[in-house]
A and B are shown apart, each in its own frame.
Chain A
Amino acid sequence: MAYNWNWGVFLQPTATGGDETYLGWMFYGFKMTIALSLSAWLIALAVGAVVGVLRTVPNKWLSGFATAYVEVFRNIPLLVQLFLWYFVIPELLPEKVGNAFKQTNPILQQFLASMVCLALFTSARVAEQVRSGINSLPPGQKNAGLAMGFTLPQTYRYVMLPMAVRLIVPPLTSEFLNIFKNSAVCSTIGLLELAAQGRQLVDYTAQPYESFIAVTIAYLLINVVVMFGMRWVEGHVRVPGYIGGK
């Protein structure tokens, strides 16, 4: 097989002119992936926590709403959701809001649509973890809280949630890893994150192997860093006496 390996290509200035290198492009994509994933993750945690709690409350309407929310976001493919956020929702919003969105910077549009999409997609999964964390608590905890004269919100706030939060950290690790991987889907609407830059590099440099290997290694790197970070967090929040606890 005659293939000219040329790892030096990353240090060459890009064909579009300017003094950027292809490595600079990759770094831009890397930063975009990180920024997108982290901002979406924060929203997903907040929304997921609320929806997850609602799934466990006795009120039929609230828990029904939360169940519907989770089912909708879990049963539509991520790519379809992304296209709905990017192409459809701006059309369905009131005209003023929709036009305001369409007139903003295209990169910002792509970023916002991707962020909302990833955040809500992940929030449904976070909600499921929160729910199973709350349901895994012994029922006596809730009863004890209520018997002490706490209201239901107080029982959640002071008794159940502090425990549940610590129990769900390990399963949340895999969701956190997933959000970085899922962010690659956003390359389909033109957001220049890591995977999209990889494709661009193939087109511009005609060095497909180097470009793809570099992007793949970047994803592996993110994965390893997140895994070690979360292991450290898990070590700190483990509940003594529970499986996996100290």
Chain B
Amino acid sequence: MSAATVPALELDDLGVAYTVRGIDRPVLRGVTLSIGEGESYGLVGESGCGKSTAAFALMRYLPRNGKITGGTIRIAGQELMGLSEDGVRKLRATQVSMVYQNPGAALNPSLRIGEQVAEVSRLLGASATSAGERAEEMLRRVQISDPARVMRRYPHQLSGGMQQRVVIGMALAKDPTLLILDEPTTGLDATVEAEVLDLIATLRTEFGTSVLFISHNLAVIAKMCERVGILYAGRLVEEGPTRTLFDDPRHPYTVGLLRCIPKGGLRKDQHRLDTIPGFLPQLGVELPGCVFTDRCGLAREICHEHEPELHPLGGGHASRCHFHEEAQTLPRTTPPHVAAPQRESNGVPVVRAEHMAKTFRQEGHDVRALDDLSIEIRPGETLGLVGESGSGKTTFARLLLGLTEPDQGSVVELEGHPLAPRIAKRSADDVRALQIVFQNPDAALNRRFSVRRIINRALTKLVGTKGSARDTRLRELAHSVRFDVRLLGARPAQLSGGLKQRVAIARAFAGDPRVVVCDEPTSALDVSVQAAILNLLADLQRDKGVTYLFISHDLGVVRYLSDRIAVLYLGRLMEVGAAETVFNAPHHPYTEALLSAVPTVEGEERPRIRLEGEIPSAADPPSGCVFHTRCPRYLGAICEEQEPPLAEVERGHFMRCHIPVDELRRLQAEAPPPRARQPESKTTS
């Protein structure tokens, strides 16, 4: 058998176009790549550059207006072009599988999990009983602890992480040659993401499956893939072994992308992030030269006229740039240095919350979404709020803004005076002082209003300015968020994600707020846009002395922007302190686990601490320390019996843990704990 020499996937000069208004607009332009047997290949690029189109082209599942305009696709040596409908179906049933974002939507809501997984084997001719057995076995292999029970459940009864395990199990049940993963962990919590990635890595070796991993997250790619291809405007602009490519990028686009990421230790007060200017070319425009010219700081005449070849650089590394040797000298679009911020510290915290609690009534149960949270936020600082979903981050923000009423006995003060619990009861000054920027600007901005009207409304409602004064203010605001005033007449739908978020920020800043809650403001954006927004937030803070409460699941982003960080778990404050203190040992075991879950572009192999099981229900929190059920450094009975106090372990650094800080320091300097206590039974090969 010479199967080993047949690549799992070969694309040769693949072109795909969408027909829009009768004209073919190319989305993929002559993509050539190959994935060897058992290899894991990462496809990276910003949204709109054709990653998912490539995946769907491989599955022969393009939308009705999409078509393959040229080239060949071969899977396990089999040519896909010209395959009959039945042939395509067989191919999907046996050779290729795909897992995509949002597992909740990928599973049929009205079929039991068991039926959905078993369907795959049934299709290959297994009897009902043996298909059922195989499904159960498959669920066990994706490390679901009680497969028989999960088989009988419906998708909505499972958590996001579990759902994605099921989808992965379903994809691998046919033992495919090629597994396509399209942003499989986007939208999942960092801890869950880490578990899913671990699982994929394990199963890949177990099954010997080749993987095409599509992601906008360079760190995830760095962790998961042996080789990477960088896609821009439908062109593969650089390709190579992961480490080589990330350490020695040879295309200006790759260089730019890598500079956008807030990498370990970068901080807003020392270093501005670089961005990539301009936008992705419009779908279907003629690009006679290099596809990246318009945004490239190194572009010269030849780049506009001649499309560069894919220059081999040795060792499988290749770059489609005329000046690949100079790529890393790409000039920065923003100067790296930051003027030192002036921090006023007159002692009065801008926000002081004491014994803040929120209990929701849910089907007869009391759910403590937030439990006795006391915290101060200082003027001009950024307090980062981290924790898994369900930890109470958003509840805290909502209480602060007065969108949800806290329990009796909660105290919230703004600059020394108490705030009414509900926004309707707050004075105009208080409302103006506390504003929010949401994750999804699409949902936050009224799509029927022009940008001018959206910001003007905020100016009128919050500040009461009218007429020409308002006009001047509008221009100032637009200028301060670097929003082109010529676009003020546009509606949100006509703007890119980054521009929309700028509008949302301008709206929040209309009334010169004291505190702005940023709830995942960059999670829906591409890295280059994210970098620009983070820079903007940092600039605004420096200029206006505004305070941020910054909520994000991306710890790199939180670390970059935050002065202090608060870690929440099940509605309790587990740790709070200066950002660098919290990020470096000694820290709370929960923080330690969160940090270890995050992959980095540097690819440094941090020992992973696995958090076992799901986050417990807030309706029935564990006794003692709420984290004891998942704690990798569980001490003993004391953790189950007594809730540790939030104690100051170093100056300004508070922690809720029974382990003495010096002991923690010693433990965390050593190797990570062996696998935490295992409530689940696992099968590993």
* A and B held together in a complex: no
Residues of A with Cβ closer than 8 Å to B? Answer: none
B residues whose Cβ falls under 8 Å from a Cβ of A: none
